Amino acid sequence: MADHDNEVDLHDYPATQSAEPTGPLDLDYLRDKYRQERDKRLRAQGTNQYNFAEGDLAKYDDDPYAPPAQPREPQTEELDVLIIGGGFGGLLAGAAMRKANVPSLRILDVASDFGGTWYWNRYPGVRCDVEAYIYLPFLEETGYMPTERYTAGPEILEYTHLLGRHFDLYQDALFQTRVTGMDWDEEASRWNVTTDRGDRFAARFVTTQSGIFSRPQLPGVPGIETFKGTSFHTARWNYEFTGGDGQGGALDKLSDKRVAVIGTGSTALQAIPQLAASAQHLTVFQRTPTAVGVRDNAPTDVEWFKSLPSGWQQQRMDSFQMLADGTYTDDCPVDDGWTRYWKHTLSAVGAIPEAEMSPERYGAEMEKADYAWNEMIRARVDAVVKDEQKARDLKAYYKATCKRMGFSDDYLPAFNQDNVALVDTAASGIDRITETSIVVDGVEHQVDCIIFATGFELGTTWAHQAGYDVVGREGAILSEKWETGIRSYHGLFTVGFPNIFFMGLTQTGTTICVPHMLSKQVEHIAHVVEKSLERGITSVEATPDVEQEWVDVIAGKSELRRPGQIECTPGYFNAEGKPNDTRSAIGSGIFFPSIEFFDMLADWRAADDFPGLVTTT
């Protein structure tokens, strides 16, 4: 059984069991309930309901972790490769360029160090929700052993710095530097890139992972700018106000404070138990509950880690993604909430006799298995949360794949504390924020501090999230080309904008373990850069034909996902309930299954002649 009192242990639920529900499942009731819950949450504005950290709210984007940038001399340089972003994407790209002996390189980041997501997200309790053994790249190469299965944020941040040192990337990094624009110089076949520090780079190739999980999103609540207490976003934590240092210590300055958290997504799941332990009073404002599965973290078994054979990390990563892609395998050594869910649903459809297999039957068995899984998750809420009303409010009624799955062993118990209140906004959200309070259903909740756990700007265009525009061949403007969605070849190239590679969630094969996706994108980019430099190729650009073909492939994939997206409760996976809103990178569609996508890229590289790209020398 679980270590935690009165919790349901999902280990008791056999991972390979077929989709027999644990109790009688009333499918009609559940279908109805899920639809009702979704309908309550659908909003005409979709993604436009949100506020972003700009204009009056620009302060929510300020860096609380570093002193203001010191003046420095502007740089004017010719570069082979310019990498925008120093998170895992930039680090992986930097490492690949080092390995390819690219002569000149620059990495730019707005932050004051490497780390990306892990630089910004220093909220108390921050932890990777994917096993560190697959999440942290290069473990075999660096020899680093994560201390825990689900590593805490500070350790991951430290590891990004280790990678910076390991690949000798600090010498090429310019931090606290924001790209302001990029122009293609046809004659020189280079990108002229400008920054807010006055730099001018003439770069042959540019990689960018701008525009994903980087800019704080704020709720579209009237009066948000009028609040007179302290307020901040979870990705810009104000330790000066809360006390503590993000290293696990108590938030000792909150003992006389009434704190509000808005949002109950993956971030809130991790921060709320820490706030509950320290605040005089904590009020959690919930719009949609998250389904919270077992976390089951543990220290790394040193002997086991030492015994892992060469090549273990890629095998672990690939087999994890294979399950995520929908291919059953018993060869995946990861055994956690993710893999147990996938095995549970995949074995349900695997049990359909061949003669009876049809898309309808497949869908029906999947649906049943998902309902059964979530009944178990809901049963866990009842088993843990003592107050009946809170337990009712904390139960999620949507398919597991509608939102990022949540895992925690201390989130639900926090609601048993006397100092923790849950205000379920019954799907409608908050009415307004005043100088001193948050108002829901006409009831005013007085608070000293509001913490926005309201996620990241994901539904807007690539250029809006990146914060700069790109001017390509013949004055083509990227924000115009991508106004209603990304158009790309393999997610990496776009016509009219040679030599720039787009990383991230751009019509690509995505992975739950994000560095896995990034590593595959980097492998491809490094191949193109290395071969181009070797062969004296000065520009590479997709042809309109291959771009159109790829856009059509992605549109076909999106069509297959559409029924599921329509059924889902609103969230950033379905453009807040408006799957026809294709303007964002996520809205522009993805390729699945991802392992197939990665294999396709490998075949492309093996062809060795850049199929679908026009090159000039």
> Considering the complex, what minimum distance in angstroms separates the CB of residue 97 from ligand NAP?
26
**Structure token digits, residue 582:** 């294709």
Contact partners, residue 277, CB within 8 Å, separation at least 6:
250, 251, 414
Near ligand NAP by CB under 6 A, which window of 2-10, 299-307, 424-432, 543-551?
424-432
Near ligand NAP by CB under 6 A, which window of 32-40, 164-172, 294-302, 453-461?
453-461
Chain centre distance of CA 220? 21
- Of 514 and 540, the one with the shorter C-beta distance to ligand NAP is 514
Of residues 12-41, which lie at the interface with ligand NAP (CB under 6 A)?
Answer: 41
Instruction: Write the secondary structure of 111-149 as one string of H (helix), E (strand) and C (coil).
Output: CCCCCCHHHHCCCCCCECCCCHHHHCCCHHHHCCCCCEC
- Of 298 and 600, the one with the shorter C-beta distance to ligand NAP is 298
> Between 514-535 and 88-99, two packed helices, what is the crossing angle to 10 degrees?
30
Q: What are phi and psi of 204, to 5 degrees?
A: -65, -50
Q: Which of 87, 89, 263, 498 binds ligand NAP (CB under 6 A)?
A: 263
578 binds ligand NAP (CB under 6 A): no
408 binds ligand NAP (CB under 6 A): no
450 binds ligand NAP (CB under 6 A): no
The dihedral through the CA atoms of 63, 69, 75, 80 has a sign that is negative
292 binds ligand NAP (CB under 6 A): no
CA angle 364, 338, 5 (to 5 degrees): 110
Dihedral, CA of residue 50, residue 52, residue 55 and residue 58, to nearest 10: 140
368 binds ligand NAP (CB under 6 A): no
Q: Which of 127, 190, 215, 344 binds ligand NAP (CB under 6 A)?
A: 127
Report how far residue 46's alpha carbon sits from residue 584's, in angstroms, rounded to the nearest whole number: 12
334 binds ligand NAP (CB under 6 A): no
- Of 214 and 558, the one with the shorter C-beta distance to ligand NAP is 214
- Of 129 and 541, the one with the shorter C-beta distance to ligand NAP is 129
Near ligand NAP by CB under 6 A, which window of 10-18, 122-130, 138-146, 382-390?
122-130
Binding mask 205-234 for ligand NAP (x = CB under 6 A): --------x-----x-x-------------
In terms of DSSP bridges, do strands 190-195 and 200-208 run parallel, antiparallel, or are they unpaired? antiparallel
How many residues sit close enough to ligand NAP to count as binding (CB under 6 A)?
27
- Of 265 and 337, the one with the shorter C-beta distance to ligand NAP is 265
SS3 at position 578 = coil
Of residues 69-88, which lie at the interface with ligand NAP (CB under 6 A)?
Answer: none
Residue 208's DSSP bridge partners are: 84, 502
- Of 164 and 455, the one with the shorter C-beta distance to ligand NAP is 455
> Considering the complex, what minimum distance in angstroms separates the CB of residue 96 from ligand NAP?
23
- Of 328 and 397, the one with the shorter C-beta distance to ligand NAP is 397
- Of 260 and 537, the one with the shorter C-beta distance to ligand NAP is 260
CA angle 150, 248, 274 (to 5 degrees): 90
429 binds ligand NAP (CB under 6 A): yes
**Structure token digits, residue 49:** 């309901």
| Whole-Å CA distances, 490 to 486, 502, 594 | 11, 10, 12
Residue 452's DSSP bridge partners are: 233, 262
> Considering the complex, what minimum distance in angstroms separates the CB of residue 18 from ligand NAP?
29
550 binds ligand NAP (CB under 6 A): no
Chain centre distance of CA 606? 30
Where does this chain bind ligand NAP (CB under 6 A)?
A: 41, 127-129, 213, 219, 221, 262-268, 285, 287-288, 404, 425, 429-430, 453-456, 571-572
